[in-house]
A and B are shown apart, each in its own frame.
Chain A
């Protein structure tokens, strides 16, 4: 398989890193759709195995690989649901449209939370509080009062978190130059 112009093996350090970053999202998504943590884990692993059974896949970036994995997870979930419900007739179509929609919704949730998580994970615990209070509907002024800091501090925390988020996105989306693909281990 090739990612960003670099050929990688399934048991390589590079792929291990990609796996560590992407497995949790895949697992969370499948678990929510199948309403079972164990089944979710199983399906997510199956998706990673499937990824390697097709030869010669080429991904321009890690993000492209991630999108592809989401599709594999979706298909695996659908066949799991089919198996469980023993659906063989035409009524599947109706059911599957619903699944398709909820998939996209859950991907949006997964991705939004991952981004927020990446944005604050290396910052002070205050950043997490700021994000959670915002999600609770607090305005910046209310957050400042609640945490006994100035409103400017709240804004600075958000700015810092956002620039971390941009960094993460930069790494995930960057289409590395062919000349840069080689990384010394």
Chain B
């Protein structure tokens, strides 16, 4: 496109002009700039006109008046209306915001009281909350989204082929990796598993991955270069096909787990603010990408990576509670009610509310089935912890004393 080429040229010349101001041009660049000035009548004048304090000051004054926050709000607004979804971004000043928030709070409190009094909350026995099931979405590199509930067959994108059956997406075995010059034919795919679901994946090198609820895994098919790299958000269990030449790397934010062939679990939910890597078999390296802080794990060891401080702590653990989800169990060892509900609510796709800090920090130990109705699990928790559990609208779980 001619326009784009011309604009790219301007990008280059802007570098030369800015570089000139900062005395940073090489001889080659000086020559280039001179040629440009002579190339077309008026270029030299243009350069002088641009490299001028008055004009720059004027620009600086104007750019300060542009409110990108406001512009962004009205951009979103336009996008909504262009998608035929009438919706208006209402701008409120601070005071209005606060009164609006206060109003919501009052209404909320009133509703909560009414709910409680009129007994709209049901006891566990009267409710049924189905467990999660196998479904997922596959995002192809051209952006197309395939719903894997409906497809039970072959998926093809370019040279990449995959088979989808019974909750398992399996890529066709391919040459382990594409060389750099073939990398264009490689496709970036993302498997997205929503709340209330799980899925299994077999990558092009044969590595098996179990994806837990609310999880995304991104990878190329085939792998590119001298490594096998995937990016994880959420929780997954990896059974990596051994290959000494091609390390398998799981990236979650700035944490990288590097392995040659082994079994391990990574739990990297954004809201947890930490990444737990648990090793079942083999050996892995856990590294922070920028500081290069590193820990090596042996079987039955685990690292806790703090997303805020970027520190990595290692400890010995019983791995079973951390990988049991893949075997159809929820296993908890001395975890707080808060953590417990954070886990199971993803699988049953429900909201929850625990009343008071004291209840949230109660510790629970137990081994619960994953594929049963949630009411069974809730009954056990209610009995074990001597708490009261009720079910509200949309199966929201309320835990109180």
A binds B: yes
List residues of chain A with CB under 8 Å of any chain B CB.
1-2, 5, 7, 10-11, 16, 19-20, 23-24, 27-28, 31, 37, 41, 44-46, 48-49, 52-53, 55-56, 63-64, 67-68, 70-71, 74, 104-105, 107-109, 111-117, 119, 131-136, 140, 155, 158-159, 161-162, 165, 169, 178-179, 181-185
Cβ of B251 and Cβ of A108 under 8 Å apart? no
B63-71, B117-125, B166-174, B326-334: which lies at the interface: B63-71
Is the Cβ of B82 less than 8 Å from the Cβ of A135?
no
Contact of B6 among A2, A28, A104, A116 (CB under 8 A): A104
Q: How far is the CA of A71 from the CA of B142 in the complex (A)?
A: 23
A16 CA / B71 CA spacing, docked (Å): 11
Query: Would A117 and B13 count as touching, CB distance under 8 A?
Result: no
Number of interface residues of B (CB under 8 A): 65
**Contact present for B50 and A28 (CB under 8 Å):** no
Tell me if B's interface is mostly helix, strand, loop or mixed: helix
* 30 intermolecular pairs with C-beta atoms under 8 Å apart: A10-B76, A20-B72, A23-B72, A27-B66, A37-B65, A41-B71, A56-B143, A64-B4, A67-B11, A68-B4, A108-B14, A112-B17, A112-B50, A115-B14, A119-B18, A131-B56, A132-B57, A158-B22, A159-B22, A162-B22, A165-B18, A165-B19, A165-B22, A178-B183, A178-B188, A179-B224, A179-B231, A179-B249, A182-B251, A184-B307
In the bound complex, how far is the Cα of B4 from the Cα of A162, in angstroms? Answer: 26
C-alpha spacing A31/B63, complex, angstroms: 11
Chain B nearest CB: distance from A67 CB in Å? 4
Cα–Cα, bound, A71→B46 (Å): 21
Name B246-265 residues within 8 Å CB distance of A: 249, 251-254
Q: Tell me if B218 is interfacial: C-beta within 8 Å of chain A.
A: yes
Partner-A contacts on B (CB < 8 A): 1, 3-4, 6-8, 10-11, 13-15, 17-19, 21-24, 46, 49-53, 55-57, 59-60, 62-63, 65-66, 68, 71-72, 74-76, 78-79, 82, 139, 142-143, 183, 186, 188, 190, 218, 220, 224-225, 227, 229, 231, 233, 249, 251-254, 268, 270, 307
